Amino acid sequence: MSESFPVVVVGAGPAGLAAACRVAECGARVALVDDNPQAGGQIWRGAAPPAAPWIRRLEQYRVEWIAGARVFAAPSLGALSLESYEGNREIHYRNLILATGARELFLPFPGWTLPNVMGAGGLQALAKSGLPVAGKRVVVAGSGPLLLAVAKYLREHGARVALIAEQAAHPSVVRFAVGLAGSPGKLAQAMRLRAGLVGMRYLTSCWPLSAEGDGKLERITLRRGGKTWSEACDYLACGFGLIPNLELASLLGCKLNRRGVAVDDFQQTSVAGVYSAGEATGIGGLDLAIAEGEIAGFAAAEHLQLARSRFAERASARRFADSLERAFALRAELKELASADTILCRCEDVPLGRVRECASFREAKLHTRCGMGPCQGRVCGGAAGFLFNWRTESIRPPIFPARISSLR
């Protein structure tokens, strides 16, 4: 099956939804593709209140919504191969918008592979998809404002959140919080968040040293200052911030920079006709994702004047993104958590000690099979980037494991 669209948007999170809506409003036919069964992305997950107006708008326009389908290859210029549980299709585009979002950064520490040690966003995503957390004792750890949102969500759904362990130091978190006063929307959001966290232990300069249990998580050991102690828990929700999903952009030959996909003022990448918006261009949060998505949508629909009308919003959202990055920069001590026998690559069970002997991610792949399993380095690659400063985005199709029958 093959179809053609003037504009295709990959990713139906905030940036992709905003982009698809703006394209449709300009009168162009647009297809919106997402791996998940529902629109909304990882933040909104379906028609949560902030997503609802965008999803309603999509329904008003002629948007071809392709759910539960992942792009696994780009067989020719202007074409994408999609695989879903039901089968395959190929779609063609004149302009493409990559709104592929971000994933959590996971760092290895002893015991991090035990069942019930999950990402912070990971546990929240699972809870949102029906995992019962009521009565469960949870420790939330890692870094960034996501930890607070996750803790609040889990508590609202009946979990007992024992504590939140934030690796950043108190002064930088306070500076970040004070900085929010400059953007009233963010401040209001922070206040609501704070109200949902009353009475919860929030420890800065604190991080997990190890997770222990027989066949599944039973307790974790934490460090803060000179003090080390254990907390019993059913779940550890642990993420060290977000990293952009760059696989598709890399496959298409888009240039990358330190933050993510490199784009110009109109969100166009180094490849003509290919745009990128949201976390894929650098971690910046919801407001930046929406502003970038709108600009990319208008630009891809060739309405540059309308695109310009969102430049100021994007600039202000970007200042927030910069303060976020400064406040939650990861401390060097986190590089020492894993020991030589701690598994780094969870797909192929490659311990850190073997990977550490290699000079690059490519060499680690060839010599140890690190990054060669089904996740294709999406988990260990992020960790290796932080631990060894390796670049890990070299990519070949299929960019997701695909069925043999898909690879003709």
Partner 1 sequence: MTLRINGQTVEVAAGAMVSAAVAAAGVSQFRRSVTGEPRGPLCGMGICFECRVTIDGREHSRSCQIPCAEGMEVRTDV
In the set 199, 225, 226, 374, which binds partner 1 (CB under 8 A)? 374
d(CA 390, CA 372): 16
Query: Counting every residue, how long is the chain?
Result: 408
The stretch near partner 1 (CB under 8 A) out of 86-94, 103-111, 266-274, 325-333 is 103-111
How far is it between the farthest Cα atoms of the chain? 62
35 contributes a contact to partner 1 by CB under 8 A? yes
What the block records as the tokens of 385 is: 């980037």
125 contributes a contact to partner 1 by CB under 8 A? yes
The stretch near partner 1 (CB under 8 A) out of 14-22, 34-42, 249-257, 283-291 is 34-42
**Strand partners for 393:** none
135 contributes a contact to partner 1 by CB under 8 A? no
Q: How far is the CB of 378 from partner 1 (least distance, A)?
A: 5
Query: Residue count at the site for partner 1 (CB under 8 A)?
Result: 41
Nearer to partner 1, 128 or 356 (CB): 128
Q: Which helix (H) or strand (E) holds 177?
A: helix 170-179
Nearer to partner 1, 36 or 267 (CB): 36
Nearest in space to 339 (alpha carbons), one of 105, 109, 107: 109
Site for partner 1 in 376-395 (CB under 8 A): 378-379
When computed from its CA atoms, the radius of gyration of the chain, rounded to whole angstroms, is 21
158 contributes a contact to partner 1 by CB under 8 A? no
DSSP conformation class of 342: S
Cα–chain-centroid distance for residue 248? 14
Residues 51-80, one symbol each (x = binds partner 1 by CB under 8 A, - = not), give -----------------x-x----------
Q: How far is the CB of 266 from partner 1 (least distance, A)?
A: 29
230 contributes a contact to partner 1 by CB under 8 A? no
Distances (CA, A) of 373 to 345, 368, 378: 8, 11, 10
Distances (CA, A) of 76 to 4, 93, 270: 13, 11, 18
Q: How far is the CB of 111 from partner 1 (least distance, A)?
A: 11
d(CA 48, CA 189): 15
Q: How far is the CB of 388 from partner 1 (least distance, A)?
A: 20
Nearer to partner 1, 160 or 318 (CB): 160
What the block records as the tokens of 63 is: 């948007």
> Beta strands 117-118 and 235-240: pairing type?
parallel
Site for partner 1 in 238-257 (CB under 8 A): 245
37 contributes a contact to partner 1 by CB under 8 A? yes
Site for partner 1 in 105-124 (CB under 8 A): 106, 113-119, 121-124
CB atoms within 10 A of CB 145: 21
Specify whether the CB–CB gap between 8 and 31 falls below 8 A: yes
Q: How far is the CB of 217 from partner 1 (least distance, A)?
A: 8
Site for partner 1 in 304-363 (CB under 8 A): 343, 346-349
Nearer to partner 1, 42 or 205 (CB): 42
167 contributes a contact to partner 1 by CB under 8 A? no
In the set 129, 228, 309, 339, which binds partner 1 (CB under 8 A)? 129
d(CA 365, CA 264): 33
d(CA 387, CA 376): 18
Nearer to partner 1, 29 or 45 (CB): 45
Nearer to partner 1, 5 or 106 (CB): 106
Triad 71, 74, 77: Cα angle to 5°: 140
> Beta strands 274-276 and 343-345: pairing type?
unpaired
130 contributes a contact to partner 1 by CB under 8 A? yes
Q: Which parts of this chain interact with partner 1 (CB under 8 A)?
A: 35-37, 42, 68, 70, 85, 103-104, 106, 113-119, 121-126, 129-132, 215-216, 245, 343, 346-349, 373-375, 378-379, 401
